[in-house]
Amino acid sequence: MTAGDQLEMTLRLARKDVMVELRRPHELLSIVAFTLSSVVISSFSWRTVLSLDPVVVSATLWIILYFASILVLTTSFAREVDRGTIDGLRSLPCPPIVIIAGKIVYGLVILVIALLALMASSLLFLNLGFAYLSSLSMVFVIGAVDLALIGSMLSAVLMYSEGKNLLLAFLFFPVSVPILLPGIQACAAILSGAAPLSLLPEIRLLLAYMLAMVAVSMTLFKELYVE
Amino acid sequence: MSPIVELREVTKDFGHIKALKGVSLSFAAGEKVSLLGPNGAGKSTLLKIVATQMAPSSGVVTVLGYDAVKQREEIKKRVGVVGHRSFLYDELTLEENLEFYGSFLGSDHDEVVQAIGVTGLERWSGVKAGHLSYGLRKRGDISRALLGKPKLLLLDEFFSGLDREASEVLAQYLGEMKEQTIIISSHTLEMVQGLCDRTVRLRGGLVEGDAAA
């Protein structure tokens, strides 16, 4: 099986999950609604928006993305187990890495939808300048890949646990810290008007964590997937 | 002629629980075999091991000449599995479900339509699986399991939860399948005895009996 075949299978799995998600629009809408309402509530509570500290804005955006990730990723494998379709996935003639990769891509797609809502609402309600948009989006997308990776992996680790959704919410925090800290710092720097090159240390950290999580997923998931 | 499935001294432990305690069995091509036994006898575990969804703790399992631990993907391409829970996604139509599973087995649209036709579900192909009755869903699961033209069908607790009429319809479909080897697990003899030509009885993770039906 070539890498191209594996990529094609990964995209097929992700497409199936996105289709399933779009056919249950209440879940996707609840994630978007959570994102929008969080930004609006923040905007109302910070009446003096023009004098906002970039670190506060950055941290708020990342906290919203963090909670949106929990909403997206807790259902990733849990739903397959709850409905019995996990055995259907197990019956597919593809390597385990394809299954986890499909879930990561699916998680990323949904997180990008949440990010679009986050960016659009931030432009409207938090007075974010258009000038920051491309740099912020780049950092958030790298962060979203990281969150999708660790969220999908945790969801797989906990898929047979009692109270898996609660456990995921608790365990997600410590493994998210290496994403949240550089992410918040990078976005705060962008909002302060820092030069793009000054973001490199944070971007490198986010990318290094991504590679580490890819390596963990490739080695650990195979053991989890075969009972 | 070499057996299509062969298990030698297969064990499976879940911590301190021994689900299989040294099972040796072989199944010939074209056989229709019922695996009988009470709950906890090891039927589902045995089927999951043959389907390569589960690795044995010890012993050797070969399916269609492939090693069930080292050559899982080769086996999965050639084996159809129907679990006691449906593998169909509620939100997708029957046809979309089969297109999804079939795409991993090299099945084209014509084969999907043909598989739906085998179980007489043409009328329901555009209906979401979540809206199908339990019996129709089981038929949909058979259609799904037939994708890729498998040589071996593994049906776990297949008749559980079905009324007599639906069971008879499904038994008829299975009876008409002459090309596949079929292994059906059940905790009652009632539905499988007319369908199968061999009965293997499991109890407590051991083979208790093996005889022609």
A54-73 and A133-157 helices, crossing angle to 10°: 40
Mean local confidence (pLDDT), B126-144 = 91
Instruction: Give the number of other CB atoms < 10 A from CB of residue A37.
Output: 12
Residue A227 and residue B90: Cβ atoms within 8 Å?
no
**CA-wise closest residue to B42 among B208, B161, B180, B210:** B208
Whether residue B53 lies within 8 A of chain A, CB to CB, comes out as: yes
- Please list every residue in chain A whose beta carbon sits closer than 8 Å to the beta carbon of residue B76: 91-93
- Distance CA(B68)–CA(B58), nearest Å, equals 12
Q: What percent of chain B has pLDDT over 90?
A: 58
**Is-contact B10 B49, C-beta < 8 A?**
yes
* Token pair listed for B55: 């690795």
Give how far B66 is from chain A: nearest CA, Å.
14
Higher confidence at residue A49 or residue B46?
B46
User: Closest Cα partner for B64 from B158, B180, B198?
Assistant: B180
Whole-angstrom CA distances from A196 to A70, A107, B200 are 30, 28, 70
Q: Chain A residues with CB inside 8 Å of B73's CB?
A: 1, 93-95
What pLDDT sits at residue A108?
94
B73 touches chain A (CB under 8 A): yes
Partner A contacted by B107 (CB < 8 A): no
Please answer yes or no on whether A94 and B73 come within 8 Å at the CB atom: yes
The pLDDT value recorded for residue A179 is 95
Q: What does pTM read for this prediction?
A: 0.89
Task: With beta carbons under 8 A apart, name residues in chain B contacting A83.
Answer: 85, 89-90
Residue A48: per-residue pLDDT: 58
Among candidates A24, A84, A91 on the partner chain, residue whose Cβ is nearest the Cβ of B51? A91
B17-26 in b/e form (b: 16+ CB < 10 A) is ebbbeebebe
Residue A154 predicted with pLDDT over 60: yes
DSSP 3-state assignment of B139?
helix
What is the mean pLDDT of the segment spanning A8-36? 91
Residue A44 predicted with pLDDT over 90: no
